[in-house]
Structure 1
Amino acid sequence: MPLDASRNSLVLPLLGLLVEQPSHAYDLAARLRERYGQLSATRSTVTTLLKTLEGAGLVASRVPERVGNRPPRTAYELTATGMADFRRRVEEGLREGQAASVDFVMAIAYVGALPEGDAVSILDSRADRLDRELATLREQPGGVAEVHMLEVAYWRTIIAAETSWLRTLASRIRSHDIDWSGTHPTN
């Protein structure tokens, strides 16, 4: 875990799950594993992050509740400050996340938390930035065998594919092919 727990890659999806509904650490860890198998989410890590987020005022704990014979569990809910931080993290991941990165994937998972126009604008800006990045990647430096530069061709393909996908997504949002109603959290 990073020294600054707020930089942990689990924070954005954790806050996103709390946008959907208040939950306890065990439930959140299970939902993170189920939805995002590529992320390592143990209950102890989730518990530690929840306590850190509570200390920062992003989440609030409820009075522990007992369900059946299970031990009492503390559920957490997002605060207004937490919702603002969540949206900031989504925007940051969309704007600044590296192509094909976990940061970008987690941000795109929660793009519906943003107003429709903001989402389209950010997606268009990202596609423009990636187009500029693609233009600076040389096909193959002179005098270097292709076998030693395969990563350049790979990266060009990844960036081109993400740019195309972003433009298609922005177009679908603009044309209302993707229903944006009810996706924008009210906090």
Structure 2
Amino acid sequence: APGGPPPYWLIVLDDVHHIASESKNLLGALLQISQKTPLRFVLISRTSLDFYDRRDVHTRDIVEELPLSGLSLDETSQWLDELDLHDIDANDVHERTGGHPLAIEMLELYGKPTHEDWLRFLDEEILAPLPDDERELLATLAVSDKPIPWKALANSLDWDGTPPQRLIDYGLLIELEQGMWLHEALRERLVREVGSAETQRRQRIK
């Protein structure tokens, strides 16, 4: 086997999306090291990584990709049962958070899934780094009660071109048959924005 027989050393790198574009050479070197030494790496990223060849996944059996998503409704319900939170509606929690485990932990600690720490996480880790136009796109979509076809959404924002691939890669913007939608946890955060900005967004998508 590449890297020799077990035992292996396992190194876990989280939030790799923050360094992916600047560290392709480093990540590529780690991949080569893993083939020659008893080291194995787990890289956790919110975006797809492109420092390796697709053949490394499909034919060479060097890289294994494990797409992760939020907890399912059944898993959310089971977790709430284990926490003895029987008076909490699992459907409501799942709709508000998209099944994000961090939000469930906040619910366990504070009794509500949209605690300030959860909202701060969304603000600092997800929304703050976005360009203004991408954030406004998501905020406009958030005030809709159903998916919006891309052409209609783009026209309402004077957006030129295709849907922003980066938002799709991050799982923030979702392409459905009915149109564009967004991650439920993010929608729950964005619909809290009220006032003139919200009014303008609703007028755009009438």
Instruction: Tell me which interval the TM-score lies in, with the shorter structure as reference length.
Output: under 0.3
Larger proportion of helix: 1
Q: Please give the TM-score of this superposition, normalised by the length of structure 1.
A: 0.28
